[in-house]
């Protein structure tokens, strides 16, 4: 089911998401299906459960949508349930990020170049994997949502100040999107 995406200003986006109960396999499976359907309907490259109003540590990323720019992302699709970052690169890079929950705003964000993650996939099988380049960027952006952090929180104070009015407008429901949204 396609769900509305919660916008900047929604409380659920600021919560630390709880681990998903791996014993509730059918609930997790349904949530993952909703995340994928909602992501496809919004033309994004990643979505975290808090963005659809569910404060659980579940994320989906789809790099295939970016494979025209980054060919190495062809067929790169991952589901992360209860991900844990095991390590990050000491090297950092900047990239212009946007977010379905913060429509119309883009800014350069500094993040580690690579990371190693342990997680459960869509079949609740435990995995350990390393990510770099844009795959690492997508994964880190979505994982930030699980800790109540938006990409705008990672900007320099002067940049955040410059975006304050736009962010305030989004928080007051003045955002135009081609996908269903919600404020709460």
Contact 139, 129 (CB under 8 A): no
Which residues have CB under 8 Å from 159's CB, separation 6+? 107
Active-site pick, 11, 23, 94, 142: 142
The span from the CA of 97 to the CA of 102, in Å, is 10
Helices and strands counted in the chain (H then E): 3, 9
Per the annotation, does 93 bind a ligand? no
Helix (H) or strand (E) holding 25: helix 25-42
Task: Let me know if 142 is a catalytic residue.
Answer: yes
Per the annotation, does 176 bind a ligand? no
Contact 115, 89 (CB under 8 A): yes
Contact 57, 18 (CB under 8 A): yes
Range list of H helices, the chain: 25-42, 133-146, 157-171
Helix (H) or strand (E) holding 162: helix 157-171
Per the annotation, does 172 bind a ligand? no
Q: Which residues are annotated as a binding site?
A: 99, 141, 145
Query: Known catalytic residues?
Result: 142
Q: Which residues are annotated as a binding site for Fe cation?
A: 99, 141, 145
């Amino acid at each position: 089911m396609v769900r509305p995406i919660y916008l900047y200003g929604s409380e659920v986006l600021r919560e630390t998401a709880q681990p998903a109960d791996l014993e509730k396999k059918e609930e997790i499976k349904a949530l993952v299906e909703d995340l994928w359907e909602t992501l496809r309907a919004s033309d994004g490259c990643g979505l975290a459960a808090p963005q659809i109003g569910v404060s659980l540590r579940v994320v989906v990323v789809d790099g295939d949508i970016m494979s025209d720019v980054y060919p190495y992302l062809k067929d790169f699709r991952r589901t992360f349930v209860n991900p844990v970052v095991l390590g990050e690169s000491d090297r950092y890079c900047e990239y212009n990020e946007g977010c379905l929950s913060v429509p119309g705003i883009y800014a350069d964000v500094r993040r580690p170049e690579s990371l190693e993650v342990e997680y459960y996939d869509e079949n609740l099988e435990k995995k350990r994997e390393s990510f770099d380049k844009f795959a690492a960027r997508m994964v880190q952006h979505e994982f930030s949502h699980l800790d109540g952090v938006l990409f705008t929180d990672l900007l320099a104070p002067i940049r955040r100040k410059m975006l304050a009015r736009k962010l305030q407008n989004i928080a007051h429901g003045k955002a135009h999107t081609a996908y269903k949204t919600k404020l709460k």
